[in-house]
Amino acid sequence: MTPKRRWFRGLTPLVVVLTLIALSVTLHSLAQPDTGEAHYLSPQPSGHQPTSGEQLADLLRTKGITIKRETRSSDALMATWALKGQATLFIPTPEYMHPDYLWMLRRSPTSTRVVLVEPNARQVYDAVPVLGVGDTRWTSRVASPGRGCSLTTAGRAGVFRTRYGALRKAEQPPRVCYDNGLVAIDYMSVEFVLAGSADPFRTDRIAEHDNAKLAVDLLSTKPTVVWLDLHVTEPKPKTYSENPGLGQPLPSLQPGNERTRPDASPRPESSFSSRPERGAGLGEAEEPESPFADWLLPLVLMLLLTFIALAFARGRRLGAPVTEPLPIDVRGAETALGRAKLYRRAKARGAALETLRVEARRRLAAALKTGTDREQLLDALVTRTGHPRDWLETVLFGPEPEDDSELETRTNELLRLVQQVTRE
């Protein structure tokens, strides 16, 4: 095999594995909706776009729920505060809200419900710091609501993708459904609901399982839904209201001096880790931090798959050896020499000696006109040559040689024995 071909065979499985990885990541990215699109979870008519919220809005209106669509966080906050606790603030894309607006959610009037769709650890900390984010799946999974679920009367739904739970500093346990894919907790007199997947709210998934019932239950506890239809990242607010709902100006509604929010303080970076401190909300009272990084296991598995692929590529054959005719005529001496070199390179002394013994037993049996059976051949040789039976058995059927000198000795003995019998 030429060096170029050997290099190609060694590189091929690695290229195949990397191609499969790239293809999987690409297909997964294409399958994920673009939250920056104007129709994503929007209540506006969109020609029935698959990821819109048009069908959910129609179901809510059919149930008598009023929908107020807002396109800025400040306007959504003002509309919610004006309703004095008789509103549900629905935030499908919390990733576009400025952290200061997320902090303002906890200042909403008493009994306000805030529904956040799949917020990450940073967004959860800004809005409701007593909750934490657990693990996140590759795709959403259908789950049962579980025992004692008070958030909905729906059955199985596809809301389980990101898990949430209460941190140890939470003063009360959260209300947990769908294997922690749906969690609610009262914080500063505001009810926060965290949904672990956007599937129940999307037009293309709302008819699956009991997604429609779940989405309507979450958004119909109040007579009005303030729907934040936000798809661009917002700038930092200019002014703050420390007493919301009492007529003070809200951020970005009128000019004001730059200032920090009233309870602003340095946030520990560890609070935004992908493995936050978990409590009873995630079903684990004490879970020690793993000393290994999250990417270590996938890396080990990928290296193992690469090694297996390389082993298959470099393997000469799979299964037992198969005898094939040579494509050209080769002189016997060249064949014997080449085979001997292979045995020597592999240090296969036993295989080399056994090859000579097989041929020697055939020639001896032909000369003595007897079979190649062990006992018959030994009896005939003892009668013809007079050599001790033990010596003949060692020469023709003995154990493998331990070194090259013993191999040479056994080979010479075998050759002399064959010459003696065939000459006679």
Higher pLDDT: 267 or 336? It is: 336
Residue 47 has pLDDT above 80, yes or no: no
Instruction: Report which of residues 75 and 329 the model is more confident about.
Output: 75
pLDDT at 297: 75
- What are the tens digits of pLDDT across the range 397-421? 888 888 888 888 888 888 888 888 8
pLDDT at position 254, please?
41
Average pLDDT over every residue of 380-405: 87
On the question of pLDDT at 327 being above 80, the answer is no
Q: Which residue has the higher pLDDT, 267 or 343?
A: 343
What local confidence, expressed as pLDDT, does residue 127 receive?
92
Of the ranges 138-142, 272-276, 277-281, which is most confident? 138-142
Res. 23 pLDDT band, cuts 50 70 90: low
**What pLDDT is stored for residue 268 in this prediction?**
36
120-177, pLDDT tens digit by residue?
Answer: 989 999 999 999 998 888 778 889 998 889 999 999 998 988 999 888 777 788 999 9
pLDDT for res 32:
63
Mean pLDDT of all residues in 302-311: 78
Mean pLDDT computed over 355-371: 86
Domains delineated in the chain? 35-245+269-285 (3.40.50), 332-423 (no CATH)
Highest mean pLDDT, choosing among 214-218, 258-262, 369-373, 389-393: 214-218
- The per-residue pLDDT for 68 is 94
Question: Model confidence at 60, in pLDDT bands (50, 70, 90)?
Answer: very high
Per-residue pLDDT, 406: 85
Q: What is the pLDDT of residue 95?
A: 92
For residue range 179-215, what is the model confidence (pLDDT) as tens digits? 899 999 999 889 999 999 999 999 888 998 999 999 9
Q: What is the pLDDT of residue 379?
A: 87
Residue 69 has pLDDT above 70, yes or no: yes
Q: What is the mean pLDDT of residues 309-337?
A: 63
281 — pLDDT class (breaks 50, 70, 90): very low
Whole-number percent of the chain with pLDDT over 90: 28
- For residue 325, pLDDT over 90 is answered with no
User: In terms of pLDDT, which residue wins out, 158 or 300?
Assistant: 158
Q: What is the pLDDT of residue 372?
A: 79
Between 8 and 194, the higher pLDDT residue? 194
**Paired tokens of 280:** 């009873």
